[in-house]
Every structure is written in structure tokens, then in C-alpha cells.
């Protein structure tokens, strides 16, 4: 079998893999992007993505932002704790940005990126290409994939896994630490009697966090709860579902009047202890899969893609062994360490702090929310983590 060679092979053309491909399109590099699914237009994924201000700046830089069908600005974030007093309100003034973030739909973003990747003249984009094996024990990385009944093999100076985390265990030295939250997220679009345009709600309940994100004139619901509870909720008729949602959310937007199709997602925390191996690196959900509370996962994955492209661009293209040398990958890993660690601890602590059924802890959490609301520097810190990640980013 003849093996074509590329500078970079990206496995997984989800939003993070495509962002990296787009960030690399102007460099003098040969890039192959392999995606198991069919063309993005055929993919329907209903999950909403709350994009931070930092992510919006990256998507603008990549030329994706202007092609998005719809994005709804978040002008207020309201955080509360079910059954307890205390809440926090974050506004753009807390962080000095025009909007706290934007809500887009996964498939809208995926479709726009797909169109742009197809137009990228120096990108080789292959869909229906299921990668079955990767090897990193050879001088160059080797990738085997199946496409239209054929088996193909390619080599890469740098293999980037952006596949959500299925193939990394084939790479020497990469191990995951996993925690199963034993929770499911139910996702659906809902309408309310008294919508509050621009306000995103994050409400902590003993069962798990519940988010309502403004999406056009509707709200995108992400409601997390124990697996058995979610199975019951998914079977409810619409009116009982909306009634139970109202019981958990309260009266802030009056009654809920409509719910669209409901989907569910299992929730785990998974992160690789090291993100690089010989001529290989993990980005996005392949490097870390987080609980969706506070909408950090894609934002963090997008920063992975952006920073990797920037690390690659620092080295002149004809440098022997680049891209993908041990030195380059070590520099990238160092650069990403603190942002990843903080985002992981931030989301995991939020889930654990607000779902422990101990009245003292619960009261402290509520006191914490009140205190946070009264302390501008602390609020600014939380706002910055949600908006930029650890580094207080500015993509200037
Ligand atoms: C309910 C829910 C709500 C969320 N809300 C938010 C939010 O508000 N904000 C936020 O920032 N994040 C959010 N997230 C997280 C976000 O969805 C993920 O972080 C993001 O989708 C990760 O993108 P990715 O490209 O790394 O992985 P994925 O989206 O999983 O894409 C991986 C791609 O790799 C392909 N692939 C897999 N295996 C192979 C293979 N063997 N060969 C070839 N291709 C392969 C897949 O087909 C897929 O296209 C949410 C997640 C959930 C579950």
C-alpha cells in the first residue's frame, strides 16, 4: 500500500478539528483532515454552544463568525441556587466586554465551518473517512482509515487527534483519568411567557445544574440530572415536562409554553494526563471532556486549536523535523497546562459544590453566591474565567 505523506494529519473534523484546519490554511503546509461522518450539512446536533467573548474573537479571526446563520448575544448571566437565597448577576461591565458571550447552535457552527474547510484550497478534507488505527512508534506517525470500502494509510510529521477521545489510547504514554458523573443532560429548545432577552440563566439544583441560554426568541435548555431521573423526564408529555422545569427554575420567566424535540447526552469528566506523544498531540474533547456547566468545553477546545496553530506557525516551515518535534510539542503542552487545569477544576468544582446534599455546604454555597455578588473583584475573576479562560485573553 503506498503511503502519502502530509505535514499534519488531523483526525476528527468536529468543530475543534475544523478550527485547527482553518487556522492552518494560510501556512505553507500540507494538511489532511479526516472525518468519520458524512458532509457536515447532513449532521444535525441540537446542542447549544455558549461561546465566550474570547471564542468569538478567535472565530472572527478565522473568518467563521460572519458566516454564522444565528448568534444570540448574552448580556446578563444570572446564577442562582434552587431552594436557597443568594444569586449572582454578571454583566459585560464586570468584565469590560461588549457581550458576555454568544449562543450558537452546534450544527450551525459545524455547517459554516464545513463550507469554509471545503473552500480551503490547500486543505485535503475527507469525509466518510473512519480512522481505525494510529501508530506513533515509527519515525513518522501512521494513520489507517476506511473510506468507501477501501483501506488507506497515510503518514504525518504531526498527528493531531481531535476525535473526541476514542483513539488516544493507541498512543504510547497517553492515559485518561475519568470520572462518570452518572448524569445525563437533556437538551431542548423551550419558550417562556416572559422571556428576558439576552439573559442566560445557570441554576444549581440538588439534581444538577440547569442552564437556559437565549437563542433567538427561544431558550436553549441544558438540564442535567441523574441518569434514571433523565430517563423519566424524557418520557413525560410536553406539558408535564414544562411544569417540572418550571418547578425547578421558578417564576423568573413566567410559565414555559413550548418545548421542542428533546435529546440527551451522557456526562463524564475525562482528561488525558499528558496531551502529547511522539509526533502526536490531542486537542479539544480528545484532550479533555468536561461537564457542560458554565459552557467551557468547546471554548477550551477552540483555544487548544488556536494555540497549537500559533505554536506551529512560530517555526519556519523548512525547519528539519517540523512540525511535530518533541521540542515543539513540549512547548505547546506547557503553554496549555494552566488554562486546561483551571477550566477543569472550575467546572468540576461547580458541579460538586452545588449538588452536595448537605445543608451546611448548601448554605455556604448560597452565602458564597451572595458574597460573590457583593465583591466586584471576585465577580470579575469568575467573569474572566467564563469569558477568556485562565489567561485573560486578548486576541488583538
Ligand atoms: C449538552 C452539552 C452542552 C454543551 N454546551 C457547551 C457550551 O455551551 N459551550 C461550550 O464551550 N461547550 C459546550 N459543550 C461541549 C462541546 O460540545 C464540546 O466540547 C465540543 O463539541 C468538542 O468539540 P470537538 O471537535 O473536540 O469534539 P466533537 O464535537 O466530539 O467532534 C469529534 C469529531 O471527530 C469525529 N471522529 C470521531 N472518531 C473518529 C474516527 N475514528 N475517525 C474520524 N473521525 C472521527 C466525529 O465524527 C466528530 O465529528 C457542551 C456539551 C454537551 C454534551
Predicted local distance difference test score (pLDDT) of residue 381: 60
| Residues contacting ligand 1 via CB (< 6 Å) | 11-17, 34-37, 47-50, 130-131, 162-164, 166-167, 185, 187, 222, 265, 284-285, 292, 295-299, 301
Predicted local distance difference test score (pLDDT) of residue 137: 95
Q: Which atom of ligand 1 is nearest to the CA of 16?
A: 25
Q: How confident is the model at residue 359 (pLDDT cuts 50, 70, 90)?
A: low
Name the closest-CA residue to atom 30, ligand 1.
164
Q: Is 360 a residue whose pLDDT tops 60?
A: no
Name the closest-CA residue to atom 16, ligand 1.
298
Q: Is 389 a residue whose pLDDT tops 90?
A: no
Which of 47, 53, 152, 289 is the pocket-test mutation for ligand 1 (most atoms within 8 Å of CB)? 47
Q: Is 320 a residue whose pLDDT tops 50?
A: yes
User: Could you report the per-residue pLDDT of 92-103, keeping only the tens digit for each?
Assistant: 887 778 888 999
Q: Which atom of ligand 1 is nearest to the CA of 131?
A: 42
Contacts 24+ apart (CB under 8 A), 325-331: 326/278, 329/276, 329/281, 330/276
Q: Which atom of ligand 1 is nearest to the CA of 265?
A: 53
Q: Is 396 a residue whose pLDDT tops 50?
A: no
Q: How confident is the model at residue 312 (pLDDT cuts 50, 70, 90)?
A: very high
Separation of CA 285 and ligand 1 centre (Å): 6
CA atoms of 326 and 59, how far apart (whole Å) = 29
Q: Which residues pair with 270 in a beta bridge?
A: 178, 289
Predicted local distance difference test score (pLDDT) of residue 193: 96
Separation of CA 15 and ligand 1 centre (Å): 7
Q: Is 394 a residue whose pLDDT tops 50?
A: no
In this predicted model, which residue has the larger pLDDT, 210 or 384?
Answer: 210
Q: Which atom of ligand 1 is nearest to the CA of 50?
A: 8
Predicted local distance difference test score (pLDDT) of residue 25: 93
Name the closest-CA residue to atom 3, ligand 1.
292
Q: Which domains does the chain have, with CATH numbers?
A: 4-177+268-388 (3.50.50.60)
Predicted local distance difference test score (pLDDT) of residue 379: 54
Q: Is 139 a residue whose pLDDT tops 60?
A: yes
Range with top average pLDDT, 50-54, 148-152, 202-206, 378-382? 148-152
Q: How confident is the model at residue 145 (pLDDT cuts 50, 70, 90)?
A: very high
In this predicted model, which residue has the larger pLDDT, 270 or 383?
Answer: 270
Predicted local distance difference test score (pLDDT) of residue 367: 53
| 318-343: average pLDDT | 95
User: Could you report the per-residue pLDDT of 219-277, keeping only the tens digit for each?
Assistant: 999 999 999 999 999 999 999 999 999 999 999 999 999 999 999 999 999 999 899 99
Name the closest-CA residue to atom 35, ligand 1.
12
CA atoms of 382 and 21, how far apart (whole Å) = 31
Arithmetic mean of pLDDT over the chain? 88
Predicted local distance difference test score (pLDDT) of residue 395: 37
User: Could you report the per-residue pLDDT of 104-127, keeping only the tens digit for each?
Assistant: 999 899 999 999 999 877 899 999
Which of 9, 51, 292 is the pocket-test mutation for ligand 1 (most atoms within 8 Å of CB)? 292
Out of 301-305, 308-312, 360-364, which region has the weakest mean confidence (pLDDT)?
360-364
Q: Characterize the bridge pairing of strands 31-34 and 123-126.
A: parallel
Predicted local distance difference test score (pLDDT) of residue 244: 97
Predicted local distance difference test score (pLDDT) of residue 138: 96
Q: Is 300 a residue whose pLDDT tops 70?
A: yes
Q: How confident is the model at residue 86 (pLDDT cuts 50, 70, 90)?
A: low
Out of 133-137, 196-200, 361-365, which region has the weakest mean confidence (pLDDT)?
361-365
Share above pLDDT 90 across residues of the chain, in percent, rounded to a whole number: 70
Predicted local distance difference test score (pLDDT) of residue 69: 79
| 313-319: average pLDDT | 86
Q: How confident is the model at residue 354 (pLDDT cuts 50, 70, 90)?
A: low
Q: Which atom of ligand 1 is nearest to the CA of 18?
A: 25
Predicted local distance difference test score (pLDDT) of residue 171: 93
Predicted local distance difference test score (pLDDT) of residue 291: 92
Amino acid at each position: 500500500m503506498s503511503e502519502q505523506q502530509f505535514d499534519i494529519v488531523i483526525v476528527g473534523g468536529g468543530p475543534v478539528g475544523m478550527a485547527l484546519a482553518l487556522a492552518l490554511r494560510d501556512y505553507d503546509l500540507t494538511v489532511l483532515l479526516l472525518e468519520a461522518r458524512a458532509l457536515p450539512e447532513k449532521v444535525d446536533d441540537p446542542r447549544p454552544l455558549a461561546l465566550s467573548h474570547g471564542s468569538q474573537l478567535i472565530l472572527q479571526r478565522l473568518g467563521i463568525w460572519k458566516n454564522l446563520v444565528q448568534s444570540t448575544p448574552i448580556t446578563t448571566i444570572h446564577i442562582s441556587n434552587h431552594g436557597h437565597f443568594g444569586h449572582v448577576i454578571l454583566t459585560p461591565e464586570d468584565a469590560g466586554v461588549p457581550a458576555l458571550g454568544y449562543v450558537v447552535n452546534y450544527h450551525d457552527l459545524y455547517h459554516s465551518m464545513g463550507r469554509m474547510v471545503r473552500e480551503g484550497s490547500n486543505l485535503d478534507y475527507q469525509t466518510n473517512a473512519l480512522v481505525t488505527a494510529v501508530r506513533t512508534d515509527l519515525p513518522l506517525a501512521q494513520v489507517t482509515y476506511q473510506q468507501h470500502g477501501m483501506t488507506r494509510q497515510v503518514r504525518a510529521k504531526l498527528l493531531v487527534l481531535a476525535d473526541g477521545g476514542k483513539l488516544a489510547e493507541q498512543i504510547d504514554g497517553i492515559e485518561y483519568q475519568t470520572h462518570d458523573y452518572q448524569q445525563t443532560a437533556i437538551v431542548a429548545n423551550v419558550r417562556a411567557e416572559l422571556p428576558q432577552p439576552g439573559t442566560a440563566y445557570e441554576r444549581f439544583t440538588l439534581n444538577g445544574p440547569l442552564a437556559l441560554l437565549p437563542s433567538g426568541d427561544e431558550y436553549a435548555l441544558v438540564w442535567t440530572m441523574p441518569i434514571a431521573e433523565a430517563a423519566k423526564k424524557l418520557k413525560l408529555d410536553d406539558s408535564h415536562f414544562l411544569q417540572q422545569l418550571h418547578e425547578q427554575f421558578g417564576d423568573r420567566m413566567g410559565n414555559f409554553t413550548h418545548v421542542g424535540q428533546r435529546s440527551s447526552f451522557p456526562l463524564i469528566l475525562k482528561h488525558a494526563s499528558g496531551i502529547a506523544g511522539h509526533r502526536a498531540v490531542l486537542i479539544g474533547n480528545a484532550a479533555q471532556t468536561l461537564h457542560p456547566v458554565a459552557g467551557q468545553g468547546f471554548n477550551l477546545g477552540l483555544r487548544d486549536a488556536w494555540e497549537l496553530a500559533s505554536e506551529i506557525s512560530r517555526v519556519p516551515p523548512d525547519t528539519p523535523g517540523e512540525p511535530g518535534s518533541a521540542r515543539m510539542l513540549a512547548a505547546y503542552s506547557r503553554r496549555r497546562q494552566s488554562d486546561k487545569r483551571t477550566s477543569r477544576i472550575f467546572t468540576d468544582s461547580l458541579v460538586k459544590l452545588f449538588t452536595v446534599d448537605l445543608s451546611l455546604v448548601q448554605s455556604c454555597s448560597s452565602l458564597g453566591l451572595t458574597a460573590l455578588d457583593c465583591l466586584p473583584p471576585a465577580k470579575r475573576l469568575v467573569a474572566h474565567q467564563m469569558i477568556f479562560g485562565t489567561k485573560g485573553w486578548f486576541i488583538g
